[in-house]
Structure 1
Amino acid sequence: MSFPALVFWAIFVIPLIVFLIWVMKQDKRKGKTGLIILAILVIGVIIYMYSKHMFDSETLMTR
């Protein structure tokens, strides 16, 4: 892995995973809040990637 990828993981991904685990443990509805947050994040990322044209229209692979 390159250094920028490690920085991305350290700053964004690991804290997000820790936050989602904490939210799911605090949730009295058996993890529904964590799943809702995760779904919102995934939808947001997909919208962002399509708006920035990061998908190739023929292969749906990133550049």
Structure 2
Amino acid sequence: MNSMSLLFIGLMLVPYTAFIVWLLKQDKRKNTMGIVVLMVAILATLLVAIYIDAKYM
């Protein structure tokens, strides 16, 4: 993995974390199942992107 990939992941992690915290505060019914599904989907996408990037470098 090159430095630009790590920089991109780092720049995306901070807003993503802030967005998840904001979503949790907005959830009036405290039903976090949708948030958990969203986090798992984005994490899976991130892992696939890292794997693909490492495969072709």
TM-score normalised by length of structure 2: 0.57
| RMSD (Å), alpha carbons | 3.1
- For structure 2, the 5+ residue unaligned runs are none
Percent of pairs with identical residues: 22
Q: Flag the structure with higher helix content.
A: 2
> How many pairs align?
52
Aligned to 1:25: 25
2:14 maps to amino acid: I
Do the aligned residues in 2 keep the contact of 1:24 with 1:34 (CA within 8 Å)? yes
Q: Which region of structure 1 is more displaced relative to structure 2, 40-49 or 11-20?
A: 40-49
Q: Kindly report structure 1 stretches of 4+ aligned residues shifted beyond 6 Å.
A: none
Residue equivalent to 2:47: 46
- TM-score norm. by structure 1 comes to 0.53
